[in-house]
Amino acid sequence: MSQPVDKITAVFQQERPAFIPYFTIGFPNYDVSLDVIEACVNNGADIVELGMPFSDPLADGPTIQNSTQIALKNGITIPKCLQAVTDLRARGVAAPLILFGYYNPLLNYGLEKAVVDAKAAGANGFIIPDLPPEEADDLDQFCREHGMGFIYLLAPTSTDDRMQLVAEKSTGFTYLVSVTGITGARTGLSETLSEYVAHVRGFAKTPVAVGFGISTPEQAATVGELADGVVIGSKLIKLADAADDPAKEVGAFVKSIVDAL
């Protein structure tokens, strides 16, 4: 029987690299965030990372931090994030949806309950950037039991031992952080990115996607030649923040990325 994680895996069997946008649920408000996420998929996004707002998002730069603060002020909680998945499925959004958030709110909600409820809502997996694999056994086990993807992160500073551990545990894909630092659009890619991706591939048992600091179609195309997937978040938040019609603006940008890939 097909499991939620299988839909993530299937994305990487297409001819081109997968495009994986990130967007914060509840920014600039709940309804507009759903419009933006739907527009991403309608314009070719293959998987969407749904940002679950948290008061202390350690991995995120100022752009995403600001969006999560606004979302929190808008009353976005874990139950509301799960409702967003249900609402997106009701709109006909079929692409895999991955809940991206931090450990504390999930722990407070209940780890197994979070996994069970996320699956029931129609989500496909989780990315928890502040939960290292050495400490993730409980959530990892619940995800495996319920067929949900659990995507771990690697950074340029990761040791070979950490790469080996993440390779054994990551399901769906492995998320490579392209730079040492926080999320945010940058002017250029790391000069050592190709060596880094190649090195991780020596360990990885899943496809590898690269995120953090990618903001243009040209950068996406370059990363797409190295990796199986490209993640962009901060640029989408900036576009939505400045736009009169966020869904239209972000949708057009997503199309430009997909075309470049």
Catalytic center residues: 49, 60
Q: What are phi and psi of 179, to 5 degrees?
A: -135, 160
Query: Other C-beta atoms within 10 Å of 19: how many?
Result: 26
What is the distance, to the nearest Å, from the Cα of residue 192 to the centroid of all Cα atoms in its chain?
23
Q: What are phi and psi of 23, to 5 degrees?
A: -145, 140
8 Å CB contact between 123 and 94: no
Q: Which residues contact 210 (CB under 8 A, 6 or more apart)?
A: 176, 178, 193, 197, 223, 226, 227, 229, 230, 231
Joined tokens for residue 216: 């243009």
